[in-house]
Amino acid sequence: MRIAKILYKNEVAGILRQLEDGSFEFEYHSHWVEDSSKPPISLTLPKRKVPYRSKYLFPFFYNMLPEGSNKQSVCFNQRIDKSDHFGVLMATAGNDAIGAVRVLKIEN
């Protein structure tokens, strides 16, 4: 299992996991859900206590991935398979993300 924490404006909002079967799970931290001043990270992922589950990387996170020659460069330099969307996301969205959301890898 691979895990990343999701930061919104440098505050931890939740956890994104890739499970052993390749599926994905996103879960908001309880403090984020309970605080009415904290917004959802995306309109497609409204705040809730129950984790979101998907066979594929959630579109919100998928849209954070680099494309074209930028993706090729990242994959070549980081030695990541181009079909490893979670790996590319963790390699790029920690420091090079547009908007308020960042993705930081959690080491096991």
DSSP per-residue codes, 77-100: HHT--TT-HHHHHHHHTTTS-SSS
Residue 59 in this model has a pLDDT that exceeds 90: yes
What value does the mean pLDDT of the chain take?
A: 90
Which of 16-20, 53-57, 75-79 shows the lowest per-residue confidence on average (mean pLDDT)?
75-79
Domain parsing of the chain, residue ranges:
2-106
Distance CA 24, CA 37 (A): 27
More reliable by pLDDT, 24 or 92? 24
The two tokens of residue 108 are 């096991």
Please give the average per-residue pLDDT across 23-46, as a whole number: 95
